[in-house]
Amino acid sequence: MRVLGIETSCDETGIALYDSDQGLLGHKLHSQVDLHAVYGGVVPELASRDHVRKTLPLIASLLAETGLSKSDIDGVAYTAGPGLVGALLVGAAIGRTLAWAWQVPAVGVHHMEGHLLAPMLEADSPEFPFVALLVSGGHTQLVEVKGIGQYRLLGESLDDAAGEAFDKTAKMMGLPYPGGPELAALALKGDPKRFHFPRPMTDRPGLDFSFSGLKTFALNTTQREIAENDSAETVLQTKADIARAFEEAVVDTLVIKCRRAVRECGAGTLVLAGGVSANRHLREKMQSAMKKEGARVYYPRTEFCTDNGAMIAYAGWQRLRAGATEPMGFSAKARWPMDSLSGI
């Protein structure tokens, strides 16, 4: 079965083709970073319009590169939520229309299920059951996974997601958009011993997260430590030291909660997925921590950590082969609890 995957949940247009026998045949990704940079964040209406312009040309380009035609496609998968409703509706409308025109089944995919299953695209992939940390700009969740669609939410952020906290802290520090990767890059130049930030909600039981206070702590530290008469070099180093302390606090918090989750579930496998899972420091610390727990860590290659069509094509294939299909209509969900999905 060959499945076309379409991802348009936010500010990246992702297209991919997945073959059940050959694996991933190819993928295309268009980023809207330059479009939104001037505004310092994603503008939903502009994102939707750009998806309208880019989705069909990317599909045509991918089909040409792979030497396939519409008659070679056996199913279409598109992101149906959660995400920006306008952006989601673009992919849903195009996906459902193509499926109708090509007379193949279509299925709406949960965006975070796509991220969760992204490591399955690798040759060395995890087996069920496992614990997953889904950590991105919009979500920070710990989930017990017994199979596809068999999810139990263990904990989540009560306010800002980890990636959102990275972006907002970077913006407060005057770093360019997109802030998260800029802050992580700056942290590499920071002194890890100069500042120590709190590890929120790690001094109490439970698996929930909170990063809003950490963001405020970073703002207060920045305002206190940077003076008007400081040289540009001094300011840059101070910002690097603050970035390092902030990153260390977020990473340590995620690691502590993951160790708890693995212990509570008796799991031998942890899956790390979502945009923040590309963070090098997080991967290194998580790898070391899970080794102490006797557990193994899996994560997708860097290009599949952020939003992409490959994860949607793969998740859609899993749903389609289990018999899931969408009716003639289509819909999009800005919010969609993952534990409401049906198992297969």
Exposed/middle/buried for residue 304 (C-beta within 10 Å: 0-12, 13-18, 19+) = buried
| Binding site residue list | 111, 115, 134-138, 167, 180, 279, 307
The H or E element spanning position 268 is none
- Contact (CB, 8 A) for 138 and 103: no
**C-alpha gyration radius of the chain:** 21
Q: Is 243 exposed, middle or buried (0-12, 13-18, 19+ CB in 10 A)?
A: buried
In the numeric block, the tokens 């500042």 are attached to: 195
For the annotated binding site for substrate, the residues are: 134-138, 167, 180, 279
Rounded to 5 degrees, φ, ψ at 258 are -65, -40
Residues 161, 138 contacting (CB under 8 angstroms) = yes
Label the pairing between strands 12-19 and 23-31: antiparallel
- Decide if 295 contacts 132 (C-beta within 8 A): no
Joined together, the tokens standing for residue 253 give 């918090």
Contact 266, 203 (CB under 8 A): no
Backbone dihedral angles phi then psi of residue 282, each to the nearest 5 degrees:
-65, -45
Contacts 24+ apart (CB under 8 A), 63-67: 63/17, 65/26, 66/17, 66/25, 66/26
Which residues does the annotation place in the binding site for Fe cation?
Answer: 111, 115, 307
Q: Which residues, 6+ apart, have CB-to-CB distance to 87 below 8 Å?
A: 8, 9, 10, 11, 44, 47, 48, 51
Distance of CA 250 to the CA centre of its chain: 16
Q: Of 260, 132, 240, nearest to 190 (Cα)?
A: 240
